[in-house]
Structures are given as structure tokens and as C-alpha cells.
Amino acid sequence: MPYAKSMKDLYERLRDVGFDANFVRYRVLPDWWADDLAAKPANRAMAEAAISRMLGFPITRLRDPSAKLELPPVNDVRLKRTKGVKAPEVRPALLLAAQVAKGVLSAIRPPPRFGGPMPAEEVRQRILGQHHAVDLGSLLEFAWQHGIVVLHLAELPSASKKFSGMALFCGQVPVVILAFRSDSPPWLAFHLGHELGHVLLGHVAPGKPPLADSNIDQLDQDAEEKAADRFACLALTGLPEIQLPPIYGLTAAKLVAASREFGTKRNIDPGTLALIYGRSAERMPVAQNALKLMGLDRGAHAKIGAALLDRLDRDDLPEATERLLSLLSAF
């Protein structure tokens, strides 16, 4: 893309470390910004300050057109399930996620208080004390009540590799950041359950590096990943793992009926059962059609965003925090 001469070096140097010009222009710089404003040094300084606040680059490096930019450290994030993905390729997205988490925590009132580790069986028992099944909505409610912040990151720089989920502590507060593109509540329920496993099993803790999953749906023999998968399955179904037989000739409509009947008996969300069948029987198209028939193919991002909105104090937020919040679903 053509750059205004006064912004050319900034955009090119940021692109070299994973932040494409469109992302910087429309997601980092203020809404009122126009690149030709940078012809005046005072305006260019305002752009540099906005980039520094949101992305963490030292303003002295941004100010020097010949200075090579380097990504600020992300506390040695442990990246799991990285088949085909190298850690440096996803660092821009992880850096942004960590910045968003810090910005959100500054705006939550009252500040969350973490309730401590908890086994999946107890999580399920607590939720079933108030709900018929463990689904995305009830899992979100539990997480927030237990002092765990849950976010969905809707916007990431296109020049960076993506991640599915991330668990970290900001000070004493655990934060789960989901970035999975699917908007299906059952899909996001498993992803949330997996990341909650990392938090509640102690895989992340204050002073320990964050943990990010590049692709939660990819099988992994790592002990922590297997434990987080087991945690999610236990919380959602009451069983450490569950497989449904590949019943031949099962249409989407029949899968809906079977999932609802079995789910009612076992206190399992029928959408979860449809996904389990799809993966077990290698019939994901049937499972996806079943989710559509049940109205469970969309709405997850809005649920996660609404739960956050209920807890935010948005009065007099700094502009940099508002820009960070704009990257989240429902903003």
C-alpha cells in the first residue's frame, strides 16, 4: 500500500515485526488519525505515542527512522500445539493479547479475586447446582464468579500467525484469552474449558510464564495439554473422555434428536454431544449441520463480550485502553 512519506518508515518497521499497516492505522492509531497529519512533527509524535502505549515499543525507537524495532518480551510464553507454527511467528498476536489483558484489568470494577485451583469434577458440580448442563454460558458465569477474566480477541494483525487460546496471570488475576474464529458456543465451550484447565490445574500461576495454544483441536501428547483436554471433557460431560459410536446413516436431524435425548439424561449440552459425535465418527459436516439446526452455530463471541461488558467501568477510560477494548468481541 502507498504510505505518506512522513509515516512510511513507521509502517514498514512495524510490518517487519508482525504489525501490518492496516492494523496499525485502523486498530492502533486514533479514529481521527489521517496519515498526512504526520507531516507536522508534533502530530507524528502523537502517532508514535499511541503506538508505544498500545504495543509497548520504546518511543525513542519509534522516533528514530533508522532504528530497527524489536518485539518487546512476552514473558517467555510457552507455545503448545505448534505444528507448522514457529514461536516467533505468533509473538505479535501474543504480545497484543497480553497488552489487551492488562488494559481490560484496569477497567474492571470491582477487581477480580481468584478463588484458587479446583478440580474439574468440582467445577461441574458447582455449575450443575444452578444449571441443567455445562455449556458456554454457565462456564463463563463460573469463571467470572471464580475471579477468572475471560476475553475473546476478535482482531489480530494479519501479518502474525494466530493462536486459539491463552492463559496467563496479570498480577494475581488469571486471564483466559480466546481467539478461535468459530462463533459456535459448543466449540468455544471446549476451548474455554481447556484454558480454564490450564488455570485451575496450576499450569499457569503468578510469576510463571503464560501458556498459549496455537491449535487446541490438534492432538498433543504434552502432559499439560492432555491434562487440560481431560479437564475440559470432565467439566463438560462428567467423563474424562467420551466417544460416540459412528452410527451409519445418522442425519443431522437424527443427531439433534439423539443428542437432546442423551444430553437430558446425562446433563450434557446437546451441542457438545453433537461435536463429540462428529469427531469420534469423523463426520464433522453432519455435526456442523446439527449445530445449525439447534441454533448453536453462532453467538459465542457475543456471549463472551456481554459477560465482560457487565463488569467494565467505561467512564473516563484512557484512549489507549479504549483502543485495546476495540479489539475484543462485542466492542
Q: What is the mean pLDDT of each run of 10 residues along the chain (331 residues)?
A: 77 92 92 92 94 91 93 60 64 87 89 95 98 98 97 88 90 95 95 96 92 64 87 94 77 95 95 93 93 97 94 80 84 73
pLDDT number for residue 140: 98
Task: State the Cα–Cα distance between residues 43 and 39, nearest whole angstrom.
Answer: 7
Whether residue 72 lies inside any domain: the answer is no
Q: Are 171 and 110 in contact (CB under 8 A)?
A: no
13 and 48 belong to one structural domain: yes
**256 and 307: one domain?**
no
Same domain flag for 9 and 158: no
> What domain count does the chain have?
3
Question: Do both 83 and 172 map to the same domain?
Answer: yes
Q: Are residue 182 and residue 273 in the same domain, yes or no? A: no
Instruction: State how far the Cα of 59 lies from the Cα of 211, in Å rounded to an integer.
Output: 28
Residues present in the chain in total: 331
Answer yes or no: is 313 within a domain: yes
pLDDT at 72: 64
Residue 331 counted as domain residue: no
SS3 168: strand
Shared domain check, 154 and 252 = no
Candidates 125, 131, 123, 117; CA nearest to 167 is: 117
Domain boundary among 39, 63, 87: 63
Contacts of 308 (CB under 8 A, 6+ apart): 104, 149, 150, 151, 328, 330
CA distances from 101 to 87, 107, 240, 275, 327 (A): 20, 10, 31, 30, 11
Q: What CA–CA distance (Å, rounded) separates 314 from 138? A: 25
**Mapping DSSP to helix (H, G, I), strand (E, B) and coil, where does residue 260 land?**
helix
Clarify whether residues 139 and 260 are in a common domain: no
- The answer to whether residues 54 and 102 belong to one domain is no
Task: State whether 111 and 218 are in the same domain.
Answer: yes
Q: Are residues 246 and 228 in the same domain?
A: no
Q: Is residue 270 part of a domain?
A: yes
**What pLDDT, in 10s, does the model give residues 185-206?**
999 999 999 999 999 999 999 9
195: containing domain = 78-239+299-325
Q: What is the pLDDT of residue 216?
A: 46
Is the domain of 279 the same as that of 306?
A: no
The per-residue b/e assignment along 177-202, b for 16 or more CB within 10 angstroms, e otherwise, is bbbbebbbbbbbbbbbbbbbbbbbbe
Position 73 in a domain: no
* Together in a domain, 251 and 200: no
Q: What's residue 5's pLDDT?
A: 82
